[in-house]
Homo-oligomer: A and B are copies of this chain.
Amino acid sequence: MEENNDKKPLRKLEELGEFGLIDYLTRDLVILNDTTVKGVGDDAAVLKTPRGHFQLASSDMMVENVHFDLTYFPLKHLGYKLAVINFSDIYAMNGYARQLLVDIAVSNRFTLEALEEFYTGLKIAAQRYGVDIVGGDTVSSQKGMILAGTALGHVKKDRVVYRSGARAHDLLVVTGDLGAAYAGLLVLLREKETFLANPRHQPDLTPYAYVVERQLKPEARKDVIEWLEQNDVIPTCMIDISDGLSSEVIHLTEASGKGAVIYEEKIPIARETAAVMEEFRIHPLTAALNGGEDYELLFGISQKDYEKIKDVPGFHIIGHFTEDPGAYLVTKANQQIELKAQGWNAFLERRRNPEKSEGNNDTNSKDEHKD
C-alpha cells in the first residue's frame, strides 16, 4: 500500500496506542492561520472568527469500498481528497476554509506507515489551501478504514452565499469541466479488473492521466472564491458539484423556489473525458450530469455581472434560472428534457454505476444524445 524501500519493519498501530499515534501524526503541524488559537492537543480546538464574519462548518464521510478502494487509491491521495472535499463545501458558501478536524477509524491491518502516508496527504492539502489541522479522533474499526472530516471556515457576513438565493433570469455558471472524476473512476475500475485477472499486468495510465487525477486528487475551487472577491461579484446562489450537475441544479432550483434551463452544448466536458466515455460507450453527458465528484462550483450570477464573467477562463454560462419551477436540459437536437434528482443514492451505490440507472433519469440514456 505504501513503499518501504528502507526495509525497516512496518510498525503496528498498537505499539503506539491512541495518544502516541495522534502525537506522532500531528507532531510537525505548523499553524498557518491567526484565527487558530489552539490546534491539536486539548479537548477542543479554539478558534477566532474575524469581526464581521460568519463561521462555517461542514462535514463529509468516506468509507472504504464505498467511496474509495485501496487497491487503486494511494493513501496519500486519499488524505488529500478527504481534505479537499471538505474544503469544497466551505468554498460553496463563498467563504474560506481555515481549519480541519479529521476522524479516522482503522482496523489493525493498517500500519503506522500507512496512516502516516494518509496524514501526509492531509498535510499537503492543508498547506496548499492554507488550512490548519486542529483536531479529530483516531479509533479502531473492526474492518476497513472509515474517515470523517469537518471543515471550518469563515465568510464576510455580506458575502455569504446560500443555495436559496437564485432569482429568475440569473445566469447559471459552472467552473472547470465536468465528468472527469467519473471517467477516471471507470478507468481505475477497469484496471483493477485487469489486474485481478492478471496480476503481472503493468497498467499504462498515461493516456488517462487527466481523468485519473481528477478522481484520485481532486482540487477545490478556492481560486474561484478569490476571483469573485477581487472582482466584487457575489453569486446569488452556489453549490459545489459532488453528486453530478443534474442534482446540483435541482438543489439550487428547489432551495430557491425557481426553475432552470441548461443547454447541453454549453456543458464543459474535457476532451480526455469525452474520449474515455466513448471507450466505455457511455454518452459523455452522462458523466457530467450524474458522475459526481468533480468539486467544481455551480452558481447563479445576476445579469448585471455578465460583462465581468463572460470572458473569464474556466467560467461557463450553461443556462439561466426561470420563474417557473422545474429544471430542464435543452439537448443539441433542441429537445427539452426534465432533469431528475439522481443525486447519489448512498444505499444503492448508484454513483459508482450511473449508467445502470437509466430508467430513473431521462437524460441518462446514451442513445438519446447520439443524434
Residue in B closest to A108 when the chains form the complex, CB atoms: B347
Q: Are B93 and A346 in contact (CB under 8 A)?
A: no
Kindly state whether residue A26 has any CB partner on chain B within 8 Å. Answer: no
**CA–CA, A239 to B41, complex, Å?**
11
- Asked if residues B66 and A56 are in contact (CB atoms below 8 Å), the reply is no
Cross-chain contact B44 with A140 (CB below 8 angstroms): no
The reply to whether B58 and A135 form a contact with Cβ atoms under 8 Å apart is yes
Q: Which of B44, B95, B162 contacts A92 (CB 8 A)?
A: B44
- Contacts A59-B148, A60-B137, A146-B63 given: A14-B44 contact, CB under 8 Å? no
| A43 at the B interface (CB under 8 A) | yes
Query: CB-CB contacts of A131-167 with B at 8 A, as 1s and 0s?
Result: 0001111111111101010111101000010111000
Does chain B have a CB within 8 A of A17?
yes
Whether the Cβ atoms of A162 and B42 lie closer than 8 Å is yes
Q: Least Cβ distance of A103 to chain B in Å?
A: 4
Chain B residues within 8 Å of A334, by CB:
none
Contact A135 B18 (CB under 8 A): no
* Pair B41/A255 contact, Cβ less than 8 Å: yes
CB-CB < 8 A to A90: which residues of B? 43-44
CA distance A54 to B296 in the complex (A): 32
The answer to whether B61 touches A150, judged by C-beta atoms less than 8 angstroms apart, is no
Chain B residues with CB under 8 Å of A66's CB are: 105, 139-142
How far is B146's CA from A137's CA once the two chains are assembled, in angstroms? 13
Instruction: Enumerate chain B residues within 8 angstroms of A41, measured Cβ to Cβ.
Output: 163, 255
Contact A45 B58 (CB under 8 A): yes
Residues of B within 8 A of A101 (CB): 57-59, 150
Known interface pairs A42-B93, A140-B346, A141-B146; A57-B134 also in contact (CB < 8 Å): yes
A239 and B43 form a contact (CB under 8 A): yes
Nearest chain-B residue to A342 (Cβ)?
B17
Q: Which of A46, A89, A155 has the most CB of B within 10 A?
A: A46
Binary B-proximity of A28-44 (CB < 8 A = 1, otherwise 0)? 00000000011001111
Query: Which residues of chain A have a CB within 8 Å of any CB of chain B?
Result: 12-14, 17-19, 21, 37-38, 41-49, 51, 54-67, 89-90, 92-93, 95, 99, 101-105, 108, 134-144, 146, 148, 150-153, 155, 160, 162-164, 238-240, 247, 255, 341, 343-349
